[in-house]
Amino acid sequence: MSFLTPLALLGAAIVGPIIVAMYLLKLRREERVISSTFLWQRMVRDVEANAPWQKLRRNLLLLLQLLLMLLLVLALARPFLPVTGISGTNLIIIFDRSTSMLATDEPPTRLEAARRQALALIDQLPDNGRATIITIGGQMEAPIAASSDRRELRRIIANIQPSYSTQSDLTQALTLASALAAREPDSEVAIISDGNVTIPDGLRVPARVRYFPIGRASDNVAINAIALQPGPFEQTLFVQAINYGNSPVTRRLSLYYDGILANAVDLTIDPGREQSWTETLPTTVAVVEARLDENGDALPVDDRAYAVSPQRETVKVRLVSDGNRFLETGLSLLPGLEVTRVPTTTLTFTESAAEIPLTIFDGVTPTELPPGNLLFIGPLRSTELFTITGEFDFPLIRPVALEDPLLRNVRLSDVNILRALRIVPGSWARVIVDSDGGPLLLAGEREGRRIIVLAFDLHLSDFPLTIGFPLLLSNMIDYLLPVSSVQLTTGQPIVAPVDSSIEEVRVIRPDGRVASSRDGQVQVQANQTFYTDTELPGIYTLEERRGNEVITSRRFAINLFAPNESQITPQRDLVIPQISGAQSTVARERDGRQEIWRWLALAALLVLLIEWLYYQRNTLTLLRERWRRRTA
């Protein structure tokens, strides 16, 4: 045991003799003359005992007062015991709340064990100490900084929630900790984690860094891939699991189709290897959930994965044309389209983009453009989107961006065009296919909607007779009617197009909570929906509503595919360069101190109470007798 203020022990050498001297010195009393001393023998003995510097008699009050003095002096000296922990007055705690901290090898979880360690460090703070708490795992947060309020610090630590992040990065946290430590000379950084973190390069922390490892086990099996591949008559399900442990395991994989258990298989996986399962499903299956049994697994959160069928629902397409067999036949071969042809004399459109998201103009240009995405084929006059300045014959085709998705698997070298329109594109457009006379294929976005312009009439070329025509038509429809990505990982935002006539967008989370655009949790900008609170794995349902009516509903599967978090083997040390030259961050036995002055002060208070009760024993006895008589 050591002392922080050992000079306070001198108080015992000063106060102790004073207390003893008070018992040795004679008490001053008034003298009286009496007739006889036979009845006053006890008084005479008391006078002799109080003569100066007589032999000290045994006295319980004296012992209690000396003990009280000793306890108070020891408390003022601030004794402490060396323990594993911290010793600085400015403590910066970096708390890992990532997915791997949900492993159950530390009861009940690593996160709770880290919480207990953080509370122990707060208890070790000296009286003038301050603490800052920084959480990592997903987005870095600093809920409290340089606070000496221990109650608030404990409350913050108790309220730290896990983050289903795909990676834990110490870069931002150590940068912030370095900036805070540079202001205080007696600073110390404590990292509470299982060590599965990314350490920045080239950073030297201007304080002592201590690492408190959490966790013991390394065995874990996770589902690291799941997909539903659509087909014309069936779907193909692919599920893959990986063994991050050190020994072979056999785990049961259960498959649920639309919430109903449909199949279960046993997978035997060697250490560090993957095992997959493939089967065909009916096209009517919309949601698949894969589960691994939790037998012998330390991290159950990565034992589930979800997949949503990416098949596009039937979409209404409006074709404004006087008749084009090539175009109508090509559109009829594309799945998921309900094409309605209207004559070119109908140039007034009242439907919203949610009702008809795509309009195709074949050889006609309306005076007022309808809402939704647009495809122009051989437009006859200028619009607000582009300008037509004339025509040119026999253009020499020159593709500009062969890697563009619109030209995927499309060959244009054998295409012959009799006549094309000379188009001056707007700033919104990018040229996909160019020629010696001007662009032949334009694509781009303006005001949240997608637009494609084909600068020639299909009847004035042999393009519809080539294999490239249906392929280009399919690519254009995929671009104009994109299927939102339905397979995401935790933390990725949900982004989906939305019509301007929609009044409200809701997102139903896997835990049942509902987020709405009306309360600002769902953002709607430029006919796009953005929802970013996707850290919880599961199925998210996005609803577009007009009043109380649900116009469209889409599902999104968000999974935790995080190899860095599924590899739960704890690290025993972290290499973090410090200005002092140290590299290791492992906390050793004598790195911290646990002060015990509070217990000494409590013992002193108890001794003071006993001393007072003993001093007032006669009065207490008298009061007790009076109480007994009164009650009798």
**Pick from 411-425, 520-534, 540-554, 603-617: least confident:** 603-617
Query: 3-class secondary structure for 153-181?
Result: HHHHHHCCCCCCCCCCECHHHHHHHHHHH
Q: What is the pLDDT of residues 88-140, one digit of tens each?
A: 789 999 999 999 999 999 989 999 999 999 998 998 888 788 999 999 988 89
Segment 300-320 shows an average pLDDT of: 86
Nearest by Cα to 538 from 557, 555, 522: 557
CB atoms within 10 A of CB 458: 21
pLDDT interval class at 559 (50, 70, 90): very high
Instruction: Please tell me the predicted confidence (pLDDT) of residue 589.
Output: 46
Whether residue 405 has a cis bond before it, omega within 30° of 0: no
Residue position matching structure tokens 């002055």: 597
Tell how strand 538-546 and strand 528-531 pair up.
Answer: unpaired
Is the pLDDT at 304 greater than 90? The verdict is: yes
Instruction: Please tell me the predicted confidence (pLDDT) of residue 44.
Output: 57
pTM across the whole model: 0.64
Instruction: Please tell me the predicted confidence (pLDDT) of residue 69.
Output: 79
Give CA torsion, residues 564, 570, 571, 572, to 10 deg.
170
Instruction: Please tell me the predicted confidence (pLDDT) of residue 264.
Output: 94
Instruction: Please tell me the predicted confidence (pLDDT) of residue 26.
Output: 47
Q: Which residue has the higher pLDDT, 261 or 27?
A: 261
pLDDT interval class at 482 (50, 70, 90): confident
Tell how strand 504-508 and strand 441-446 pair up.
Answer: unpaired
Q: What is the pLDDT of residues 500-521, one digit of tens each?
A: 778 899 999 999 999 999 999 9
Same fold flag, 223-311 and 315-479: no
- pLDDT above 70 as % of the chain: 86
Q: What is the pLDDT of residues 60-77, one digit of tens each?
A: 777 777 787 787 777 777
Residue position matching structure tokens 């922990």: 85
Across the chain, mean pLDDT equals 85
Instruction: Please tell me the predicted confidence (pLDDT) of residue 83.
Output: 58
CA 173 – CA 146 distance, rounded (Å): 15
CA 252 – CA 263 distance, rounded (Å): 10
Q: Which residue has the higher pLDDT, 513 or 597?
A: 513
**Domain at 223-311, CATH from 3.40.50.620, 2.60.40.10, 1.10.3720.10, 3.40.50.10070:** 2.60.40.10
Fold assignment, 487-559: Immunoglobulin-like (2.60.40)
pLDDT interval class at 255 (50, 70, 90): very high
Segment 525-549 shows an average pLDDT of: 89
pLDDT interval class at 167 (50, 70, 90): confident
Range 343-351, long-range pairs (CB < 8 A, 24+ positions)? 344/320, 346/320, 347/320, 349/318, 351/318
The C-alpha angle 224, 228, 234, rounded to 5 degrees, equals 150
Terminal Cα distance for the chain, rounded: 56
Task: Confirm or reject CATH 3.10.20.340 for domain 85-216+570-587, answering yes or no.
Answer: no
What phi and psi values does residue 629 have, to the nearest 5 degrees? Answer: -65, -40
Q: Where are the domains of the chain?
A: 2-80+599-631, 85-216+570-587, 223-311, 315-479, 487-559
Q: What is the pLDDT of residues 431-463, one digit of tens each?
A: 999 999 899 999 999 887 899 999 999 999 999
Is the pLDDT at 23 greater than 60? The verdict is: no
Any residues with CB less than 8 A from the CB of 63 and at least 6 apart, and which?
A: none
Q: What is the pLDDT of residues 416-425, one digit of tens each?
A: 999 999 999 8
Fold assignment, 315-479: Rossmann fold (3.40.50)
Lookup: tokens for 574 = 């972290």
Q: Which residue has the higher pLDDT, 231 or 446?
A: 446
Q: 257-266 burial by CB neighbour count: b if 16+ within 10 A, else e?
A: beeeeeeeee
DSSP three-state, residue 142: strand
pLDDT interval class at 602 (50, 70, 90): confident
The Cα-based distances of 89 to 83, 114, 176, 190, 576 in angstroms read: 16, 21, 18, 12, 21
Segment 565-577 shows an average pLDDT of: 90
Segment 581-596 shows an average pLDDT of: 61
CA 91 – CA 189 distance, rounded (Å): 6
